[in-house]
């Protein structure tokens, strides 16, 4: 019985997470269609929302490090996608971007 309750609570969490992750029309411009975006949407949304990118107050150097930090935590970024993803994050979310 306890186990069943746990399952129902878990299902509720997954549903809530799904809603939080769904990109809304308003957030589109914050994630321009450039190389690296698909990787970001696929590899960086399992554990937290994309809001983390917007909320993060990080320099280009910080993003450089963060990508490897997240990969170390389990983010499934392919070797040949790292550069595009890094550039994407730095161009769109670095606090010291142009």
For the stretch 43-50, contacts whose Cβ atoms lie closer than 8 Å and that sit 24 or more positions apart, written own/partner, are 43/70, 43/75, 43/76, 43/77, 43/81, 43/85, 44/70, 44/75, 45/21, 46/75, 47/73, 47/74, 47/75, 49/17, 49/20, 49/21, 50/21, 50/23
Residue 46 binds to ligand HEC (criterion: CB under 6 A): yes
Minimum Å distance from CB 43 to ligand HEC? 5
47 interacts with ligand HEC by CB under 6 A: yes
Question: Which residues within the stretch 65-84 sit at the binding site for ligand HEC (CB under 6 A)?
Answer: 66-67, 70, 73-75, 77
Task: Give residues in contact with ligand HEC (CB under 6 A).
Answer: 43-44, 46-48, 52-53, 56, 66-67, 70, 73-75, 77, 89
């Amino acid at each position: 019985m306890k186990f069943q309750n746990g399952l129902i609570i878990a299902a509720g969490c997954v549903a809530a997470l799904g809603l939080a992750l769904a990109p809304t029309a308003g957030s589109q411009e914050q994630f321009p269609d450039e190389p690296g975006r698909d990787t970001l949407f696929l590899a960086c949304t399992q554990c937290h929302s994309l809001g983390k990118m917007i909320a993060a107050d990080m320099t280009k150097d910080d993003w450089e490090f963060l990508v490897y930090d997240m990969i170390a935590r389990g983010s499934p970024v392919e070797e040949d996608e790292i550069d595009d993803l890094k550039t994407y994050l730095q161009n769109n979310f670095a606090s010291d971007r142009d």
